[in-house]
Structure 1
Amino acid sequence: MNPVSVRLVTMNSFEVETTQGVGRKKSFLQTKKEKIFRKKTLYSRLPILQWLPQFKVDNLLSDLIAGFSVGLTLVPQSLAYATVGGLPPQYGLYASIMGGFVYALLGGTRSLAIGPVALLAITIYPSVTKFGPQVAVFLCFTSGLIELILGLFNLGFFLDFISLAVIDGFTSAAALTISSTQLKSLFGLNYKSDGFLHAIVQLFRNINDVRLADTIMGMTALVALFGMRALGRVKVSGFSTKSKIISKLIWFVSTARNAICVFVCAGIAVATYDAESDGNLKLIGNITSGLPPFDVPPFQLTNVTTGEIILSFPELLSATGFSMIILPLVAILEAVAIAKAFAGGKKKVDASQEIIAIGASNVVGSFFSSFPVTGSFSRTAVNEASGVQTPISGVITSIIVILAAQFLTPYFYYIPKASLAAVIVGAVIVMVEYHVIMPMWRTKKSDLIPFATTFFSGLLFGLELGIIVGTFVHLFMMSFANARPPIEIGVTRKEAGATVVVQPRESLVFPAADYFSNIVKKAISKEEHVTTVIFDLAYVNRLDFATAKTLKGLSDNFASSNIEVLAINVMPKALEVLEGIQPKNMNITIS
């Protein structure tokens, strides 16, 4: 006998379709195997196979310019972000090497620039200051592995549970926390701080030790960075050769402002350095030269000198548990958001593939002493403005970093710490502008509570706790909203009795079952004689078993009092649930 499928067509008619010749159903593994081992899947998982055959020599010059421009931005930023994470400056260079190579193979957005960012650096800071640089490399590997799993199994939908309001609150708290860590360098102070409040307290405790030279250098560098950024908005009119040269020069100064600022400040430090004076600028000092060694990420923490085990693998997992959850979350949200922003609606962004690319960048990078990386908004903007054509620009950027690590680190000795602090604050302002100020224009009042909860929790008790508390608050708010859907009650009174029309304005799910029942009973109790109750379900797209049973219970209760019960405008999905519980005392019509 052939299987029969029934499809509802109109209110009172059914169309019966007979399925003929259906073959044996394929197993889950067979289906997955066929999807994986096909050309379409290969091309989607290795985007380089799509753009490389179409690559033209003309594209190479554009990618060289873009890669070099991003490299000029990345080198000083990487040194600065390493200090934000509590690491020696060379770790910033290490974290900037592999992302460009890996993303060129796996990334699907031509302009996305991968590398260290302030958000991830501040997230690893508590663990690094407690356990040392090894834990940063461990977190790079574990977070990358989690990202790979999420991407490969298309589990990115879990991120839908983290609202934009929570992310904006987290970013705002992180921005203030990052900025607070740089106050000591901006004012030439030397103290240890843990969190935003502690940093502010420490600043005021040490305010009498502020160094004038560092303060002037830091503030001047900040003003210069803002000025060069604003210069990029200047438009030069005309089509003459002179106009084009001036326009390109303005673009270069604005784009390479971080490198220009840092190296000019370093030149001033060299010129004013006096070996016998205590008033010298505080310098970044010696940086380990050369490339990072290829090594397996540490799965236990050991004393570098004695080899003694400090934390075993289970202890390390326990100590970094919060960070292992937060780091992949922040990295994925940052990268996917940037990819979508710069795709500009011209090309659909494959979120799963972007997650895979970020995860692979971290896993591979961990074998070269990298700390966690993701996409950078400021450097992606530089890439796009530079006329990038393909992800080869990221390879060029990585080569620039390799050359800097191999040959230029001795010259970084004289970089003032105040200038790096200015670079970080400048980058944080760009981050806030993109992640906080712009989204705030579309923020609803209902979003202010999770935003504020995340912001203040993150600022006062730690960023990891802030995003967790904010997420739970927002989920609770959504659950409460589901438990209290708007319900309109209309009553038509005649001599024979009253007709009560109950119209839920949203879907009905189990948290609302008792509330819905009480609202209906209360409305009925106010009338002297009710002859008919009508449930208008026009707005109920979703009806679960609990609320369907509530409807059945109400209809049975009313039927015992000789009250006619109707359910009108029933959606197909709601109808399936109602038919499953068989409400005998309810007449149903569909929409």
Structure 2
Amino acid sequence: MDSFHEELPKGDDTKKSFWQKKIGKIFCKKTLYSRLPFLEWLPKIRIASLVSDLIAGLSVGLTLVPQSLAYATIAGLPPQYGLYSSIMGGFMYAIFGGTTSMSVAPVSLLAITIYPVVTKFGPEVAVFLCFASGIIEMALGLFNLGFLLDFISPAVIDGFTSAAALIISSTQLKSLFGLSYKSEGFLNTLIQFFTHVKEYRMADTIMGVACLIFLFSMRALGRLKLPGDSAVTKIVSKLVWFLSIGRNAICVFLCAGIAVNTYDPLSEDTFNLIGNITSGLPSFSPPPLQTTNVTSGNKILEFWELATETGFLMIMVSLLAILEALAIAKSFSDGKKSVDASQEIIAIGASNIVGSFLSSFPVTGAFSRTAVNKASGVQTPISGVITSVMVILAAQFLTPYFFYIPKASLAAVIIGAVILMVEYHVILPMWRTKKSDLIPFGTTFFAGLFFGLDLGIIVGTVVHILIMSFAKARPTIEIKATHKEDGTIILVMPRESLVFPAADYFINLVKKAISKEEKVTTVIFDLAFVNRLDFATAKSLKCLSDDFGGSGAEVIAINVMPKILTVLQGIQSKKMNVANC
């Protein structure tokens, strides 16, 4: 690293061209360490930290393997795509990521988002979306454009997540009760479920309900604290905690063991199984840049047609992936340094770009698995690499045994994960939600639930922007009248900044208040709370000053900030006096 200089001497700066200075900043040690965080933590690895990372990586792997199979089915993909999508996130995030405990792999939110196009175009479109969203994420990160996400409010994301949770859960009712039907959309899925529920399969129903009870019981067990602090108590507590962490894998493989011994393909009283899963790993090859439209007679779509068909979706997938990752990074940051949003975005983008070469669908950070990683005592991002290696081994050697996994057990795992998602992303944030956020939340929720998740996030964002615009157009303005013997003094105090949508409202409000008085001798504009005044509103202020000054009233502006004073000087009002106090 000695070839990279920390900082150029000040005297040399004047002798260097613009591009030399830029290149110097790019290749300085500080920039290099920020863009490749592993250079900082890799030399600090010790045996103790490796043991902690091994335990954490295995713990996350036990959660990830069954979840990845389940999330692939949510996306409308063959189960093996879940394993393919769980490989590169660990490696790429270890290189580019800045949060020690982040687990990057498939999540239910992105899976349900891409489901409609997967059913229309097949698995190739999921891989294409992974590559395209990765490119968008990488560009946003490299050019520091993460601020664009500020236009999507937490209330909109909470509404989107809540709608997605209900949609995902509704799609799993079929597997949970062993039913068989086709459906599209939340309402249609519920209608189909209640139409066919009388056809439920007893074996699947019993197993699905039993799995849900087991999963929530194990989760509750993991939160119990045993009395005492003896060595035996500590060992038992750790064992119970580890069993709780691995509850998804335990549940799925126990059910698979039951199915192995009871499965009879000729009997209707047996379980619906996940079936054959392609063994091994896919070849490392470029992502598909064309696909077929299954609903249009297998018509081949070239790159630009495919990009046009999925254009909005790839943007939405990118934004959701980034928002999820940044929320997790901020929640699990160790507090020693601030979260570098651009670097986190780059890490997610790299995970999706490289992952698409192994047939991955879009991935991002997962809250539940990151929590497992953190609770397991993770020390470095090496734990993600260990998790990825575990997935590779599972894909290579264990897939023949996955044949016997009952669909009902995977449905229970999905529902359990969705409930956790709602708990962390909706219920807890809702305690801090303002009443003004309920409208965009509700709009996003109902639009996403009944008209599609993509439309939901658009409508919710537009509604929230309109609400904020209305607030700017109707600022709080206090007007007080003080009556003296020689006339009335009017005090006008805006409680926030004044911008052009509020110009007419401001003029009319002040004129209406003054018109009620018989004789106004002085009009005082107290601008103490105005830290922004655009030219249009300043001109409105000039018009008011000229009108009142022309009728004999004295117009005074007080408590004017320097930058506001500059604007007022620009309008050149001869009737307004500035008297800061």
- Aligned residues of 1:534 and 1:566 also touching (Cα < 8 A): yes
Correspondent of 1:435 among 425, 431, 453: 425
Matching residue of 1:136? 126
Structure 2 CA distance for aligned equivalents of residues 271 and 508 of structure 1: 74
Q: Distance in 1 between matches of 2:491 and 2:15?
A: 47
**2:353 maps to 1:375:** no
Distance 2:146 2:288 in 1: 27
Contact 2:293 2:301 in 1 (8 A): no
Matched, 1:155 2:145: yes
1:342 is matched with 332
Say if 1:437 and 1:40 are closer, same or farther in 2 by CA, change over 3 A. same
Match of 1:412 in 2: 402
Distance 1:28 1:299, change over 3 A: farther
Deviation at 1:31, TM superposition (A): 5.3
Q: CA deviation at 1:274?
A: 2.1
CA distance 1:33–1:133, change in 2 (3 Å)? same
Q: Alpha-carbon deviation of 1:495?
A: 2.3
Aligned positions of 1:36-75 closer than 5 A: 36-75=26-65
- Does the Cα contact within 8 Å between 2:316 and 2:454 map onto a contact in 1? yes
Match of 1:6 in 2: none
Contact 2:120 2:293 in 1 (8 A): no
Tell me the alpha carbon deviations over residues 33-91 of structure 1, each in whole angstroms, 9 at most, x when there is no partner. 34322111110000001101111121111111110111111000000000000000000
Does structure 1 residue 363 correspond to structure 2 residue 353? yes
Alignment equivalent of 1:385, drawn from 358, 375, 379: 375
Matches within 5 A, 1:470-509: 470-509=460-499
Provide the residue aligned with 1:145 in structure 2.
135
What is the distance in 2 between the residues matched to 1:291 and 1:589? 76
Tell me which of 216, 232, 235 is aligned to 1:226.
216
Which residue does 2:238 correspond to in 1?
A: 248
Q: Secondary structure at the residue paired with 1:541?
A: coil
Residue type matched to 2:455 in 1? L
Of residues 350-359 and 336-345 in structure 1, the stretch that sits farther from structure 2 once superposed is 336-345
Residue 575 of structure 1 and its aligned partner are, at CA, apart by 1.3
Deviation of 1:238 (Å): 3.0
Q: What TM-score do the two structures reach when normalised by structure 1? A: 0.94
1:529 aligned residue (500, 514, 519): 519
Q: 1:353 is matched with which residue: 339, 343, 347? A: 343
1:28 positional shift: 6.7
Give the aligned partner of residue 189 of structure 1.
179
- Secondary structure class of the residue paired with 1:532: strand
Query: Are residue 426 (structure 1) and residue 416 (structure 2) matched?
Result: yes
Pair 275,177 (structure 1): closer, same or farther in 2 beyond 3 Å:
closer
Would you say 1:124 and 2:114 are equivalent positions? yes
Task: Choose from 198, 201, 211 the match for 1:208.
Answer: 198
Match of 1:448 in 2: 438
- The one-character-per-residue Cα deviations of 1:239-282 (angstroms, maximum 9, x if unpaired) are 43422321121011100000000000111111211243121100
Deviation string for 1:275-326 (max 9, x for gaps)?
Answer: 431211000000000001111111111489xx98611222211211221121
Instruction: Letter of the 2:452 partner, please give it.
Output: G
Cα pair 2:281 2:396 within 8 Å, conserved:
yes
Q: Give the SS at the match of 1:278.
A: coil
Unpaired runs of 5+ residues, structure 2, are 1-10
Give the distance between the partners of 1:26 and 1:532, measured in 2 at CA. 59
Is residue 2:176 matched to residue 1:174?
A: no
Q: Against the structure 1 CA distance between its residues 245 and 130, is the aligned structure 2 distance closer, same or farther, given a 3 Å change threshold? A: same
Report how many aligned residue pairs link the two structures.
568
State which of 314, 319, 322 in structure 1 corresponds to 2:312.
322
Map of 1:310 onto structure 2: 300
Question: C-alpha distance in 2, partners of 1:262/1:483?
Answer: 56
Aligned mate of 1:285, from 275, 282, 285 = 275
Quote the residue 2:225 is aligned against: 235
Q: Residues 99 and 365 of structure 1 are in contact (CA less than 8 Å); yes or no, is this contact kept in structure 2?
A: yes
The answer to whether the aligner puts 1:332 opposite 2:340 as a matched pair is no
Distance in 1, Cα, partners of 2:488 & 2:371: 65
**2:385 counterpart letter in structure 1:** V
Query: 1: distance between equivalents of 2:531 and 2:361?
Result: 46
Seen in structure 2, the aligned counterparts of structure 1 residues 507 and 24 have a Cα distance that, compared at 3 Å, is farther
Aligned to 2:266: 276
Aligned with 2:275: secondary structure? coil
Match of 1:78 in 2: 68
Q: Which residue of 1 aligns with 2:4?
A: none
Taking the aligned partners of 1:423 and 1:202, their CA distance within structure 2 comes to: 22
Report the secondary structure of 1:295's partner residue: coil
1:515 corresponds to which residue? Answer: 505
- 2:282 and 2:457 map into 1 onto residues whose CA distance is 33
- CA apart distance, 1:558: 1.6
CA contact (8 A) 1:300 1:309 kept: no
Name the CA distance, whole Å, in 2 between partners of 1:30 and 1:504: 49
Cα 1:24–1:242, aligned 2, differ >3 Å: closer, same or farther? closer
Cα deviation, residue 204, structure 1: 1.2
Question: Which whole-Å deviations, capped at 9, do the CAs of 1:176-218 have from their partners, x for residues lacking one?
Answer: 0110110100010111221211110110111221111101110
Q: 2-side partners of 1:492 and 1:237: how far apart?
A: 69
Unaligned regions of 5+ residues in structure 1, if any? 1-20
Q: Tell me, what secondary structure is at the counterpart of 1:439?
A: helix
1:229/1:33 CA distance change after superposition, 3 Å? same
Q: Give the SS at the match of 2:454.
A: helix
Whether the aligned pair in 2 keeps the contact of 1:572 and 1:590 (CA below 8 Å) is: no
Contact 1:69 1:382 in 2 (8 A): yes
Amino acid paired to 1:310: I
Distance verdict in 2 for CA 1:559–1:239, change over 3 Å: closer
Higher mean Cα deviation, 558-567 or 390-399?
558-567
Mark the CA change 1:508 to 1:25 in structure 2 (over 3 Å): closer, same or farther: farther
Instruction: For residue 343 of structure 1, report the CA deviation from its aligned partner.
Output: 1.2
Identity %: 73
Amino acid at match of 1:152: L
Structure 1 pair 566–31 and aligned structure 2 pair: CA distance change class (3 A): farther
Report the alpha carbon displacement of residue 557 of structure 1 after superposing the two structures with TM. 1.6
Please report how far the alpha carbon of residue 590 of structure 1 lies from its aligned counterpart in structure 2 after TM superposition: 3.2
Q: Distance in 1 between matches of 2:27 and 2:574?
A: 52
Contact 2:483–2:489, Cα closer than 8 Å, also in 1: yes
SS at match of 1:138: helix
Work out whether 1:98 is the aligned partner of 2:91: no
Contact 2:121 2:293 in 1 (8 A): no
